[in-house]
Amino acid sequence: MKRILIISFSAIHSDPRVMRQVRLLEGDHRLTVAGYGPRPDADIQFVALERSPARIARKAFWAAKLMLGAFDSYYWNQQQVRSAIAQLGAEKFDLVIANDVSSAPLAFRLAGEAPVMVDAHEYSPREFEDKRLWRMLFGRYINDLCARYLPRAASMTTVCRGIADEYARVYGVKPLVIHNAPVHQHLAPTPVVEGRIRLIHHGAAIRSRHLAVMIEMMGYLDQRFSLDFMLMDSDPAYLLELREAAKGDPRIRFIPPVPMPEICQHLNGYDMGVFLLPPVNFNYEHALPNKFFEFVQACLGVAIGPSPEMANLLRAYECGVVADSFAARSLAASLQQLDTEAVTAFKQASHAAAAELNYERDGERLLSEVARLA
């Protein structure tokens, strides 16, 4: 039985991509997982990492290091990195999986002679390029990590073809694409009620996603349409702004989020999943998120803007509508023309697509890479 270490600077129990790796590998391997938060309910050795303190003076100190280009000093003195080395530095592994570029240097340090697989959840060098301060502090730093560590990886994976191609173009690597799809949920489409089309959007309340565009969209739709937001409270101030923007329309509700394993089951009672994501940075332009696949697994029709990665899959499976632009009025125009028959057909198409767009398919690629490396 091989010893495998998974590292992620995230709350493991609520990180869907990391938890899918855990579920795939637990039982058949001696699995150690290092990250934040409580111990996941899994057959693993869990190593809880300490986070760096969030004091203002401390942040200024780290910012100065980044501005001066002291990248190694910045990295190796972060509390989570030091914590991992203290707890795992004497351990031996057959394979180390680094989730995101931020954990790659640590993965190589802990791996010794063992191979390292880097799973890039996003295109890290341009993740928040729409924010000037992020570009100033982290742009050069993350590019430096990518240039030094990605070519050393025995294997690399990422979430979609557009991001894989950019990593290949800039850093000369060849990432394998493993989608952010959940396991096959084996759900059936729920009936569409005549005269009603129930829309839902779920995810994090992140300001740069411009979620208010979907509130604006409702102003162009007739009374058949309702929209529920099921948002994690990641930015309380922004979530309050969204509630204020929607309070004049009784068709818009904000409902409590459900635990990650229950998302698809909860979505199943709706008709269409909506995600209108303006391409304010590279990752948003090439977004192919968990929620797209969760909409499909929940047997919903899907309504999106012209995001190429999502649009290509949607058109291939004919399971929804793609707006002509990212404007609220444009997606509303695509939705307004739908009737009960069309929405029913979309839900049936997602039901068929769910048999292919699931982690059983993508997990086979990861298992193959693990077998090859370990």
Tell me the H-state helices in the chain.
16-25, 56-67, 71-76, 79-88, 104-111, 132-134, 140-149, 161-171, 212-218, 236-246, 263-267, 282-285, 290-297, 308-317, 328-336, 340-353, 359-373
Mean pLDDT computed over 21-32? 95
What does the block give as tokens for 264? 């698809």
Query: How far is residue 24 CA from its own chain's centroid?
Result: 18
* pLDDT one-digit tens code per residue, 210-269: 999 999 999 999 999 999 999 999 899 999 999 999 999 999 999 999 999 999 999 999
| Rounded distance between C-alpha atoms, residue 260 and residue 269, angstroms | 16
What does the block give as tokens for 344? 């029913």
Question: How would you write 296-358 as a 3-class SS string?
Answer: HHCCCEEEECCCHHHHHHHHHHCCEEECCCCCHHHHHHHHHCCCHHHHHHHHHHHHHHCCCCC
Query: How far is residue 80 CA from its own chain's centroid?
Result: 21
Least Cα distance to 343 among 227, 212, 193, 215 occurs for 193
In which residue are the tokens 């047997």 written? 299
Residue 326 banded pLDDT, cuts 50, 70, 90: very high
* pLDDT one-digit tens code per residue, 101-114: 999 999 999 999 99
Residue 58 banded pLDDT, cuts 50, 70, 90: confident
- Residue with the larger pLDDT of the pair 100 and 51: 100
b or e along 326-337 (b: 16 or more beta carbons within 10 Å of the residue's beta carbon)? bbbebbbbbbee
Q: Could you say which DSSP state residue 19 is in?
A: H
* pLDDT one-digit tens code per residue, 132-152: 999 999 999 999 999 999 999
What does the block give as tokens for 69? 């280009």
Q: What is the largest CA-CA distance in the chain?
A: 64
Answer for the pair 116, 154: CB distance below 8 angstroms, yes or no. Answer: yes
- The CATH 3.40.50.2000 domain(s) of the chain lie at 3-181+359-373, 197-353
Domain 197-353: state its class: alpha beta
The helix or strand, by DSSP H or E, that contains position 7, with its residue range, turns out to be strand 3-11
| Rounded distance between C-alpha atoms, residue 335 and residue 198, angstroms | 11
pTM of the complete model = 0.92
Mean pLDDT computed over 339-345? 98
Residue 54 banded pLDDT, cuts 50, 70, 90: low
Least Cα distance to 120 among 104, 139, 137, 96 occurs for 104
Q: Identify the CATH homologous superfamily for domain 3-181+359-373.
A: Glycogen Phosphorylase B; (3.40.50.2000)
| Angle value at C-alpha 162, between 368 and 356, nearest 5 degrees | 50
